[in-house]
Structure 1
């Protein structure tokens, strides 16, 4: 089963506020520009009912609860934009994956995948960046590439997906690999790392290996 991109499924409590500082989005924008040029983030009228796809985030420690990290994430349906400005990013201040609730603050609503980002940060404190892209080549060859895959019947953006991601990340080899694929979310691939470079390079390395397999078959 595959799911339509871009539909927010969690309960959102959002407070409008000023955008984040420009310095906080520079690394995200740099990698987003590269991933977008490769077609891993964007908008295509022939795919996913024409909805935008792909998002990025970075962690910021929550001063009120170290076990519940806050993070900055690109806003919903911004994939079509060539370059994002601070107004296109939003803070997720609380992410309750158990009760399907997100508390956000900023000039835009968070990505529909925010719950998955939150699950990764909560499960793996060593990761500070998460990139969610759409790559048919990686997704189709996930098993051949040795990429951990969430169950096909688990829909994206839900507590079930958050739990599934947590289950996969419990394995040290998955954490070391820096990536996983979303079995029930067409073409969905997530990379993560202790830096933007680590998260980005994990995605690019998988893309190169996937293209080798595509040429081989």
Structure 2
């Protein structure tokens, strides 16, 4: 069972209302299909966008819940991730929780320094020798950088994932670690936990 430190009620109410609004919209689409000239394709795209927004809102909330019992530094992480996302600096950050990771991770460079926003951003700055690997965080400390994680063979949406996302999934499939990923190509942010990848909204202040 994952440790979660959150009051679920307010978010559950918000998500329930969001889902209810999507259901109402779907019912209207079904009624519109009685018109033979009605084309559903454009509306389907809008429906997919609405569901993605709900998923991102839920994932952002649960990410805070998952992280808060294991580090006090998620405000620094949040600000750093937002900067990296805007600048499209790829990143891979492992938050160690209950499980030991020594036998799953190919060790990189020892850091053993307090986790701060500037340090996190500097590690993943393009050209830094450490930026290609994963950072491992234990509580409030960056333990090491340039670590190599096991890769998942999972496909998502019918296409192969990039190396960072496969690495995030791979470690989360074999441990209870939570792994944050910033895409170098798109700047989008996701986190992997329990073998699943979830997008989050990194452009909202305090989102993570």
- Give the TM-score of the pair, scaled to structure 2: 0.33
Task: Determine which structure has the larger helix proportion and give its number.
Answer: 2
- Give the TM-score of the pair, scaled to structure 1: 0.32
